[in-house]
């Protein structure tokens, strides 16, 4: 389960194991669960054991690392598209995670994007305390304000690594300037902010947003996306608009809202307000502690 990725914000995907459990509205129409059902559906849900991928699959990142070093580039690796690295299911052996941390350490030319819906588990599962490896990017899914308030507070306590959110599918408006008790985008980037509730917190470095696709997809409204874009622009934080999903805006109605038209993901434009937004954290961001 490792290949050149069609996902616009990464170069490769790597799955150390397969399987997960739905925990929030963003999971309702999970593409990974649908993928698993095509092969028996035995790895999804609270009672289903997660399955480690093959030894050959685990060798792929080493090959990517050698190629990146030879070409003088960095590849972004999404880990994991068919699982959650910070899933605390009892079928996931500690040795699997230990092997993953060693693999990350052995591939310094790859930037590892660890995206989770369980950020509360990060600090207890990684072997790093203060200084995270500079090739580790830690992200959490934020589909609405409720999940923003629940999850970002854990993410922003992590120093050193690039911290990002993925608002895909975006199911409601999100105000990152008022996430439970702080502004997630605009405080001191290098030194962090000392907060009396949580100690030092560090700002977000990147925001990804996109809509939902599939037979039961829900529409994401333009104002939700443009608000995130404008928040990021005001705070000089890179913003990546991935895609509309199946639904695109039609006319603005006299009731004060957008009429959304279902056209399918292939026909939907990747443009937001007529412009392409595909910004990434800079090379400097990757190497500056707390940036």
pLDDT of residue 43: 86
pLDDT of residue 81: 92
pLDDT of residue 285: 53
pLDDT of residue 38: 77
pLDDT of residue 129: 80
Q: How confident is the model at residue 190 (pLDDT cuts 50, 70, 90)?
A: very low
What's phi and psi for 254, nearest 5 deg? -70, -5
Residue that wins the pLDDT comparison between 198 and 276? 276
Q: How confident is the model at residue 4 (pLDDT cuts 50, 70, 90)?
A: low
* pLDDT over 70 at 288, yes or no: no
pLDDT of residue 290: 47
Compute the distance between CA of residue 164 and CA of residue 285 in angstroms, rounded to an integer: 12
What is the pLDDT averaged over residues 159-177? Answer: 91
pLDDT of residue 20: 93
* pLDDT over 70 at 182, yes or no: no
**Three-class SS of the chain:** CEEECCCCCCCEEECCEEEECCCCHHHCCCHHHHHHHCCCCCCECCCCCCEECCHHHHHHHHHHHHHHHHHCCCEEEEECCCECCCCCCCCCCHHHHHHHHHHHHCCCCEEEEEEECCHHHHHHHCCCCCCCCCCEEEEEECCCHHHHHHHHHHHCCCCCCEEEEEECCCCCCCCHHHECCECCCCCCCCCCEEECCCEEECCCCEEEEECCCCCCCCCCCHHHHHHHHHHHHHHCCCEEEEECCCEEEEEECCCCCEEEEECCCCCCCCCECCECCECCCCHHHHHCCCC
| Number of structural domains in the chain | 1
Q: How confident is the model at residue 188 (pLDDT cuts 50, 70, 90)?
A: very low
pLDDT of residue 186: 60
* pTM higher than the cut 0.85: yes
Tokens of 19: 């399987």
What is the pLDDT averaged over residues 238-253? Answer: 91
pLDDT of residue 251: 82
Range of the domain at 61: 2-287
pLDDT tens per residue across span 17-60: 999 999 999 998 888 787 777 777 788 888 999 999 999 999 99
pLDDT of residue 289: 42
Average model confidence (pLDDT) across the chain = 87
From 81-95, 173-187, 258-272, the region with the lowest mean pLDDT: 173-187
């Amino acid at each position: 389960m490792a290949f050149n990725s069609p996902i616009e914000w990464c170069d490769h995907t790597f799955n150390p194991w397969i399987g997960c459990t739905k925990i929030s509205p963003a999971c309702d129409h999970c593409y990974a669960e649908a993928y698993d059902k095509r092969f028996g559906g035995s790895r999804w849900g609270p009672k289903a054991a997660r399955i480690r991928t093959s030894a050959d699959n685990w060798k792929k990142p080493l090959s990517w690392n050698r190629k990146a070093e030879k070409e003088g580039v960095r590849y972004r690796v999404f880990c994991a598209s068919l699982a959650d690295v910070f899933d605390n299911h009892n079928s996931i052996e500690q040795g699997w995670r230990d092997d993953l941390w060693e693999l990350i350490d052995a591939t310094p030319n790859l930037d590892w994007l660890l995206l989770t819906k369980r950020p509360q588990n990060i600090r207890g599962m990684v072997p790093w305390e203060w200084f995270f490896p500079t090739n580790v990017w830690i992200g959490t899914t934020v589909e609405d304000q409720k999940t923003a308030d629940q999850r970002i507070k854990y993410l922003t306590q992590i120093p050193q690594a690039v911290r990002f959110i993925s608002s895909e599918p975006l199911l409601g408006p999100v105000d990152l300037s008022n996430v439970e008790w702080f502004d997630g985008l605009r405080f001191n980037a290098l030194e962090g902010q000392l907060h009396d509730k949580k100690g030092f917190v560090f700002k977000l470095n990147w925001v990804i947003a996109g809509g939902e696709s599939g037979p039961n997809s829900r529409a994401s409204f333009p104002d939700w996306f443009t608000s995130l874009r404008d928040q990021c622009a005001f705070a000089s934080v890179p913003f990546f608009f991935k895609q509309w999903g199946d639904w695109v805006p039609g006319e603005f109605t006299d009731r004060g809202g957008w009429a959304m038209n279902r056209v399918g993901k292939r026909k939907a434009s990747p443009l937001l307000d007529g412009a392409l937004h595909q910004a990434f954290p800079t090379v400097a961001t990757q190497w500056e502690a707390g940036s």
